[in-house]
Amino acid sequence: MLAMSVSPAGVSRYLCWAVFCGCCLAGSALASRPAAAEPSSARRTAIVRAVETARPSVVNIRGEKTVGAESVAADPGKIGQRVNGMGTGVVIDPRGYVVTNFHVVDGVREIKVTLSDKRQCTARLVARDPETDLAIIKIDAVDRLPIIPIGTSSDLMTGEPVIAVGNAYGYEHTVTRGIISALHRAVQVSDAQFYDDLIQTDASINPGNSGGPLLNIDGQMIGVNVAVRAGAQGIGFAIPIDKVVAVVDSLLAARNTEATRHGLVLKPRGAEDRPGLIVAAVEEDSPAAEAGLKSGDVLTEVDDIEMALSFDFQRAMLDRGGGDRVMLRVRRGDESLSLDLTLAAARPKRPTASPDAWQSLGMELESIAPEQFRERYKTRYRGGLAVTSVRPESPAAEQGIHRGDVLVGMHIWETVSLENVSYILSRPDLAQNGPVKFYILRGNETLFGFLPLSMKDGKLTQR
């Protein structure tokens, strides 16, 4: 140990010197530090600008869910257990409507959302389409949220640069970059989930990225990240944005028709069309007809929302009720018109479940609006019923019918309505026909099979 003896006066002089010199040194160092400068233009690349544009409208999603057998990433020993799930979403409307993957929120008790400014909110599921693995959730935000710029997937080029933003492994707003590796990929990720037209990219897409945006170099969303290939490196997939827009349009339309009626039939907007949505038809004696709208008109604005995408009209109709007035801007030839549309209350709702189908067949069915069916399915069938649930070990399950299929026929009859199914299942000669042949739509394919039925005293019973 080194000992040192210093006189009290010496200590006093030493402390004063040390404090004085320390202050001077600190002040000197602060004075000499250069003021913070804006990053140079060379550093603010197109990628940086693209992320800055899109990031405020990307949200992170968390929630507890049950591990299902259909999860390709699930450890078989964990099936049936409650686990913490994670994913990503994108704000498509300032009132807090967010698009994400259905598998991100499927089975989640409480959907917890973190905004880009770190605020935490709770969301609720408002619409879903298991077939395309897309869903819409609603955040009850306290103020208007920024929405993401949306591009098109109709002109994508193999090799062009892309950027993914998402909640990768729980690391919020992770940014990765890459290129488009291929287009129109068909991917089977599980027995229950098949994607028929995906963008393939080598931008890192990890668990938690699902539901987040794939951006082009201009910061526009051109896809929704959806899947990774287990064990593969540099291979990820995204749903093309044009398909996303079409599905969101259908989901919002189905939601809006539960509350209001307007009488407009709009033509799906093509990439080559001028801004605005074309009126394909106007129903007789409808609010649209009373407002003076005509077939061929072009809607350019509804209240303060510009009609740039096919789902913009449905966004404008959200949260409306019968009697609400809507201001329309319309282009008719070379004229620009302002019209007032007063919405009517929706007609009485049709049944959305068939007890007979669940009891005897093991599947829950829902009606599909005729215009929605025609828009989504290019087929000879007049309509169909969406399969929303399948009971395990039921005739439907044994025949491989999945949630998301569309039942279009049984035996010699079509199944356009729930009443059609009830009629078929109540026929006294049903037992004589043996197993009943059924027809379903799955994507663009028509599939068929035979449903074995159990009868007792001439009536159907549950198997």
Q: 186-211, pLDDT tens digit by residue?
A: 988 766 678 889 999 999 999 899 99
Query: H-helix or E-strand containing 331?
Result: strand 325-332
**402 given a catalytic annotation:** no
Q: One of 133, 242, 249, 405 is an active-site residue; which one?
A: 133
What integer pLDDT is reported at residue 370 of this predicted model?
81
Architecture in CATH for domain 355-461: Roll (2.30)
Among 175-179, 450-454, 458-462, the range with the most confident prediction by mean pLDDT is 175-179
- Give residue 367's identity as a one-letter amino acid code: S
Q: What is the structure's pLDDT at 348? A: 66
Lookup result for tokens 């409650």: 82
Of 448, 453, 385, nearest in space to 412 by CA: 448
Query: Which residue reads 């686990």 in tokens?
Result: 83
Indicate if 304 belongs to the active site. Answer: no
Answer yes or no: 250 catalytic.
no
The domains spanning 265-345 and 355-461 adopt the same CATH topology = yes
Burial class for 289, CB neighbours closer than 10 Å (0-12, 13-18, 19+): middle
Lowest mean pLDDT among 3-12, 301-310, 424-433: 3-12
Query: Mean pLDDT across the stretch 23-41?
Result: 56
Q: What is the pLDDT of the chain when averaged over all its residues?
A: 82
Q: What is the dihedral of CA 189, 194, 197, 199, to 10 degrees?
A: -20
Architecture of the domain made up of 265-345? Roll (2.30)
What dotted CATH number matches 47-68+80-139?
2.40.10.10
CB-based contact 182:239 (threshold 8 Å): no
**Amino acid letter at 151?**
G
Q: Name the active-site residue from 71, 153, 204, 210.
A: 210
Write the class of the CATH domain 161-243: mainly beta
Q: What is the pLDDT of residue 34?
A: 60
pLDDT tens, residue by residue, 253-303? 888 888 899 999 888 666 556 788 999 889 888 999 999 999 999 999 999
Catalytic residue among 71, 103, 250, 367: 103
Q: Where are the domains of the chain?
A: 47-68+80-139, 161-243, 265-345, 355-461
Q: In which band, very low, low, confident or very high, does the pLDDT at 1 lie, cut at 50, 70 and 90?
A: very low
Q: Say what the pLDDT of residue 5 is.
A: 39
